[in-house]
Amino acid sequence: MTGVPMAAAALTGVPAGVQAQGVWAGRRQLFVRFAGEAETATMYTSAALARELERQLGRSTFHSVAIGGRDPLANVNFLLGAFTAVKPAIPVMLDTDGMRPEALGALTPHLSLTQVTVEFTGPNGTLSHAIETISAAARAKCAHALVLCPRDETSDGQLLRIIEQAHRASAATQVVIHPPLPVGEQMMLDRRWATLLDQATATHADTRLVLRLPPPAGLR
């Protein structure tokens, strides 16, 4: 581990689990999850994270490593230290809200997939950052995906506009739409979503409609 920068970050841990959403939904992953403000956190140095990754990857089988949680690109130096010291033989995915597109470039040599997740909870201006992150991943020749998690009040027009913008940014974008989880015994989706998918694929062929895996089975 010599030469690893001793940057530190607050993580909720390095748990094993099943990816809840996106391109690799349903895959067993090892999560590097940055802690939110109200979450219980443990401080890790880059070297400590590298040791933990080596330990867990040597003990069990995973499809991939998922970097996620609160604002992971705010901790690029920490991640670079860890992934310079340990180079997983499996793919590494970054799941980000897209708010720091300028920080992505340094990390892409260590990534197999950049996944930008849009929750439709902030101002519309945040969507432009998500598209900028898609563009940055495309320029770095890193596989990239846009994951849309609309709310009940999110309009079809909003969804179609961001899909069109993602297509203009990169025709290689993988788009995944996760409709709000239905409530009720039959768990039926409104026909609206089939119609929306028809419209979306007319703009961007690589668009899919998938239900999320709810917790505690699904993690992200």
> Do strands 8-13 and 42-45 pair parallel, antiparallel, or not at all (unpaired)?
antiparallel
Residue 50 inside a domain? The answer is: yes
The pLDDT assigned to 182 comes to: 67
Q: How far apart are the first and last CA of the chain?
A: 28
- In order of 91, 135, 156, the CA distances from 131 in angstroms are 23, 6, 18
Residue 83 inside a domain? The answer is: yes
d(CA 187, CA 167): 31
Residue 3 inside a domain? The answer is: no
CA triplet 46, 217, 18: central angle to 5 degrees?
A: 45
The pLDDT assigned to 185 comes to: 52
pTM of the model: 0.92
Percentage of the chain modeled with pLDDT above 90? 83
Residue 187 inside a domain? The answer is: yes
Place of tokens 């439709």: 120
Whether 130 shows a pLDDT value over 70: the answer reads yes
| Residue 114 binned pLDDT confidence (cut-offs 50, 70, 90) | very high
Domain residues for 140? 8-219
Whether 4 shows a pLDDT value over 70: the answer reads no
| Residue 64 binned pLDDT confidence (cut-offs 50, 70, 90) | very high
Residue 1 inside a domain? The answer is: no
Provide the domain count of the chain: 1
- Nearest Cα to 114, choosing from 131, 93, 135, 100? 93
Residue 182 inside a domain? The answer is: yes
Q: What's the mean pLDDT in 201-205?
A: 98
Q: What's the mean pLDDT in 130-138?
A: 97
Q: What's the mean pLDDT in 70-91?
A: 96
- What is the identity of the amino acid at 172? A
Q: Report the CATH number that the domain containing residue 87 is assigned in CATH.
A: 3.20.20.70
| Residue 52 binned pLDDT confidence (cut-offs 50, 70, 90) | very high
